[in-house]
Amino acid sequence: MRLLVTGGAGYIGSVTTAMLLDAGHDVTVLDDLSTGHRDAVPAGAAFVEANITEAGPVLATAAYDGVLHFAAKSLVGESVDAPAKYWGNNVAGSLALLDAVRAHNVPRFVFSSTAATYGDPVEVPIAETAETRPTNPYGASKLAVDHMIGSYAQAYGLAAVSLRYFNVAGAHAGLGERHTVETHLVPLVLQVAQGKRDHVSVYGTDWPTPDGTCIRDYIHIADLARAHLLALDAATPGVHEICNLGNGIGFSVREVIEACRRVTGHPIPAVDAPRRAGDPAVLVASADRARTLLGWKPEHPDLDRIVADAWSLLT
Going from the C-alpha of 83 to that of each of 74, 86, 184, the distances in angstroms are: 11, 5, 20
Nearest to 228 by CA among 31, 70, 73, 28: 70
**CA torsion sign, 164 to 178 to 75 to 50?**
negative
| Of 20 and 116, CB closest to ligand GDU | 116
Minimum Å gap between C-beta 279 and ligand NAD is 14
183 is an interface residue for ligand GDU by CB under 6 A: yes
The yes or no reply on residue 282 touching ligand GDU (CB under 6 A) is: no
Count of residues for the chain?
315
Buried b (16+ CB within 10 A) or exposed e, 209-226: beebbbbbbbbbbbbbbb
- Please choose which of ligand NAD, ligand GDU, none residue 61 contacts, taking the beta carbon within 5 to 8 angstroms, the exact cut-off set by kind: none
Strand segments (E) across 136-281: 159-165, 167-169, 200-203, 215-216, 218-220, 240-245, 251-252, 270-273
**Nearer CB in complex with ligand NAD: 53/157:** 53
Q: Is residue 7 part of the contact set for ligand NAD (CB under 6 A)?
A: yes
Nearest to 71 by CA among 99, 45, 56, 49: 49
The partner residues of 220 in beta bridges, in order of sequence, read 169
The answer to the question of residue 183 lying near ligand NAD (CB under 6 A) is no
Given the residues 11, 118, 138, 165, select the one marked as catalytic. 138
Binding track, positions 132-171, relative to ligand GDU; x by CB under 6 A: -----------------------------------x----
> By Cβ distance, which residue is nearest to ligand GDU?
214
From ligand NAD, ligand GDU, none, which one binds at residue 10 (CB under 5 to 8 Å depending on kind)? ligand NAD
Q: Number of residues in contact with ligand GDU, rule: CB under 6 A?
A: 19
Q: Is 245 in the site for ligand NAD (CB under 6 A)?
A: no
Q: What single letter denotes the amino acid at residue 220?
A: H
Q: Could you tell me the smallest distance in angstroms from the CB atom of residue 124 to ligand GDU? A: 13
Q: Does 154 bind ligand NAD (CB under 6 A)?
A: no
Measured at the CA of 163, the angle between CA 311 and CA 190, to 5 degrees, comes to 15
The CA distance from 161 to 243, in Å, is: 7
Question: Is residue 36 a contact point for ligand NAD (CB under 6 A)?
Answer: yes
Is 55 or 186 the residue whose CB approaches ligand GDU more closely? 186
Determine whether 138 is an active site residue. Answer: yes
Residue 136 as a binder of ligand NAD (CB under 6 A): the answer is: no
**Is 89 among the residues that bind ligand NAD (CB under 6 A)?**
yes
DSSP-based three-state secondary structure for 105: coil
- Asked whether position 276 contacts ligand GDU by CB under 6 A, the answer is yes
Question: Which lies closer to ligand GDU via its Cβ, residue 28 or residue 117?
Answer: 117
Kindly state the smallest distance separating residue 265's Cβ from ligand NAD, in Å.
26
Residues 6+ apart with CB under 8 A from 212: 204, 205, 206
**Exposed, middle or buried by CB within 10 Å (0-12, 13-18, 19+), for 85?**
middle
> Where along the sequence are the contacts to ligand GDU (CB under 6 A)?
74, 76, 114-116, 167, 183-185, 188, 200-203, 214, 216, 253, 276, 279
Active site residues: 138
